[in-house]
Structure 1
Amino acid sequence: MYHITIIAGARPNFMKIAPIIHEIENAMKEGNAIDYRLVHTGQHYDKNMSGDFFEQLQIPEPHANLECSGGSQAEQTANIMISFEKELLANPANLVLVVGDVTSTMACALVAQKLHTKVAHVEGGIRSNDWTMPEEINRLVTDSITNYFFTTSETANNYLKESGVKENQIFFVGNTMIDTLLKQMPNFKAPQVWEELALKEKEYIVMTLHRPANVDEENQLKDMINEIMEHSGNMPIVFPVHPRTAKILENLDIKHSRLHTVSPLSYLEFNYLVKHANAVITDSGGITEEASIMNVPCLTLRDNTERPETIILGTNELVGTNPKNIKPFLDKLFAGNWKQSQEIPLWDGKTAKRIIEAIIKFS
């Protein structure tokens, strides 16, 4: 039996691993000698991750929760490594499969290699080339000790080849986040705020901001929001906001009649809002992918992106972090000149199937 330990550390990780679990279960039914153990490091505590969350994604609750939330970057990395080492010694695996670029990804890859267990990295090879982002350090370290890379784009493939990774270690499979998006689209549901604000199709904008560079610098946050409000016509702006960011907004006394801050939403509710929005303003990488597939204009308030395919083929534009850059992009949006999404290679809902087919071959 080939044992796979799957690591998830934060809510978006579960969106990425759900289709992989479904394909492992299909392969097991077909008589393949593989099984899996799902380990949640607990890196991000999220009260929305109840039983309903796992039910929506049609995956079982994790076999183990290491409960390693809180602390500095170094403390959290250390806590995850200590806890995961015990977990892996108690439940040995042939392969540890990590996804994305959170601290858990790097920490569990390190533990696995030191215990002589092979590592597969889903979303290997992604780069922003911005070393101020903790995620970029996580990607670089993880990819330097990975055995098998499951990639989302040719750009990622090229990064890996340039860094000396052999071709037979790279599997260009597509994007599992899109597998989940396409599968769950019929289940999207309107959040309470849809009725409360009497929102109408294509007549509002969704905004998300979470990166420290945007939300921790108080004047930066204030200038950005004021600029967005000034140049967004009569559109309501719906802003699902982290409690920490909500406190900063309160202290800054940012109040606009069209700016509606709401509590964080479930996956199905949030993507319902995105799908029906006129546009999304964000600093999240994952949302740029989903918006591109749903053909919703996306303005990214960052100076770089690790997902260039969303700009080349998708609906994403890199606005930057200077608030004064926002107006020309909103003008372009309201003039009706925004680009349409094109087909992104292998972002077709079949990525997880390709991953499991590859694992069965090398197992």
Structure 2
Amino acid sequence: MMKTTSSNEPLRILCVVGARPNFIKISPLMRAFRARADEFDARLVHTGQHFDAAMKAAFFQQLNIPEPDVDLGVGGGSHAVQTAQIMLRFEPVIDEFSPHVVLVVGDVNSTLACALVAGKKQVAVVHVEAGLRSFDRAMPEEINRLLTDQIADLLFTTERDAVDNLLREGVAEAKIHEVGNVMIDTLISHRTDAVPSADTLQRIAAGRGAIGRFGVLTLHRPSSVDDPETLKHLVRLFVELSEKLPLVFPVHPRTHQRLQAAGLLEQLLASGIVVAEPLGYLEMLGLMLDAELVITDSGGLQEETTALGVPCLTIRENTERPITVSEGTNTVVGVDEAAIRTEFDRVLTTGGKRGRVPALWDGNAAGRIADILLEWASKQRKAA
């Protein structure tokens, strides 16, 4: 329930980000709200859940995200410590700003922590990208999704499967709105700004000679990198596959630590895999546009490759984004060597899945969200 407000007062919104995927999702929302400053008073809170100063600066600059109004500076820690610290530091922000709405995106610890604080303080919670389910509670993100959706007053979904999940879990239909995908809003609005892949490859693969066809590889989830034997198995396989098609591997900081601890970094550096530091959004977009395929355990890349028509192999046993499989370009292969080899070779010989772009993934999701928020707020004010 929204706190009472006058009919001509802008809707005060605290928008929360905590990790790199959140930046991509919040960009079109902040742009939509600030384009209508007479109707929205939107402030940005960065929890600092994942904090790399250089990467944060690159993303905010490339995606035209305004500097955060508040930076909680939480940093790392266990799930419990991180969630608790975010809650402790976010509560005074709510007290100071007195928002009508707290808007959270995605499924990171910041999403749940800020939703919990808002819910307990009787501030309306809006969840963008609601209803996605992997049905795997070993994933911390799944717990965050489930609990956030039970707290939320408004739930904006990217696809029909997400709507069905929420209805099955007892969420009132009136709270749910299928609006499309804000990540795709960002992709569409920045596609023409993408850094050409040749420029990025020249920079990160200096001394290797010209690279023609290539694939993109990313790994960061615990199921992929935390077990040394699994990681060793995957590295050996990808080194072998890179002899057929060079793979560009921007290494997540967490993955870098696991590779070093397992003694695998030197093997990668000596292989046909192009190992790089994490890349900015526009560099990654340029690589994906020209890639033969993407191999990943990232949820966001599953969506982006579907929107771009680029085949994707997902190194997980499940996906919370089934529409990327049923309609898009995604194939879930897990960590099974035979399945990865088969699908990798299929892409090289046939071009792989091309799929189609799902309904409402048209670049206008943020605008729909803004319209629905204003309509909802008007009803709340009349009912107060």
Task: Tell me the TM-score normalized by structure 1.
Answer: 0.95
The alpha carbon displacement at 1:215 in A equals: 1.1
Cα shift readout 1:319-361 (whole Å, capped 9, x = no counterpart): 0122332111112112215121213010000000000000010
Q: Secondary structure at the match of 1:206?
A: strand
> What is the aligned partner in structure 2 of residue 146 from structure 1?
152
> What is the aligned partner in structure 1 of residue 345 from structure 2?
331
Q: For residue 231 of structure 2, what is the amino acid of its counterpart? A: L
Pairing 1:72-151 to 2, within 5 Å after superposition:
72-151=78-157
The alpha carbon displacement at 1:12 in A equals: 1.3
Q: 2:219 aligned to 186, 209, 217, which one?
A: 209
Q: Number of paired residues?
A: 359
Q: 2:232 aligned to 182, 204, 222, which one?
A: 222
Q: Distance in 1 between matches of 2:327 and 2:210?
A: 29
Decide which moves more: 255-264 or 120-129: 255-264
> What is the aligned partner in structure 2 of residue 242 from structure 1?
252
> What is the aligned partner in structure 2 of residue 11 from structure 1?
20
The alpha carbon displacement at 1:198 in A equals: 4.9
**Structure 1 contact 293–341 (Cα < 8 Å) conserved:** no
**Structure 2 contact 223–316 (Cα < 8 Å) conserved:** no
**Structure 1 contact 11–46 (Cα < 8 Å) conserved:** no
Q: Distance in 1 between matches of 2:118 and 2:318?
A: 31
Q: 1:310 to 1:198 in 2, by over 3 A?
A: farther
Pairing 1:303-318 to 2, within 5 Å after superposition:
303-318=317-332
Q: Secondary structure at the match of 2:321?
A: coil
Q: Secondary structure at the match of 2:236?
A: helix
Decide which moves more: 176-185 or 315-324: 315-324
Q: Distance in 2 between matches of 1:308 and 1:289?
A: 10
For the pair 1:160 / 2:169, whether they are aligned, the reply is no
Q: Which runs of 5+ in 2 are unaligned?
A: 1-8, 378-384
Cα shift readout 1:152-189 (whole Å, capped 9, x = no counterpart): 00000001111111221111100000000000111111
Cα shift readout 1:18-77 (whole Å, capped 9, x = no counterpart): 11111112222xx43x21111001111123345453232122100000011111100001
Q: 1:327 to 1:234 in 2, by over 3 A?
A: closer
**Taking every aligned residue pair, what percent have the same amino acid on both sides?**
45
**Structure 2 contact 242–272 (Cα < 8 Å) conserved:** no
> What is the aligned partner in structure 2 of residue 194 from structure 1?
201
**Structure 1 contact 228–326 (Cα < 8 Å) conserved:** no
**Structure 2 contact 296–315 (Cα < 8 Å) conserved:** yes
Q: 1:269 to 1:80 in 2, by over 3 A?
A: same
Q: Distance in 1 between matches of 2:293 and 2:315?
A: 13
Q: Secondary structure at the match of 2:362?
A: coil
**Structure 2 contact 50–75 (Cα < 8 Å) conserved:** yes
Q: 1:54 to 1:333 in 2, by over 3 A?
A: same
Q: 1:70 aligned to 59, 76, 79, which one?
A: 76
The alpha carbon displacement at 1:244 in A equals: 4.0
> What is the aligned partner in structure 2 of residue 260 from structure 1?
274
Q: Distance in 2 between matches of 1:4 and 1:147?
A: 14
The alpha carbon displacement at 1:199 in A equals: 5.1
Q: Which runs of 5+ in 1 are unaligned?
A: none
Q: 1:171 aligned to 169, 174, 177, which one?
A: 177
Q: Secondary structure at the match of 1:120?
A: strand
Task: Tell me the TM-score normalized by structure 2.
Answer: 0.90
The alpha carbon displacement at 1:135 in A equals: 0.2
Q: Distance in 1 between matches of 2:170 and 2:271?
A: 54
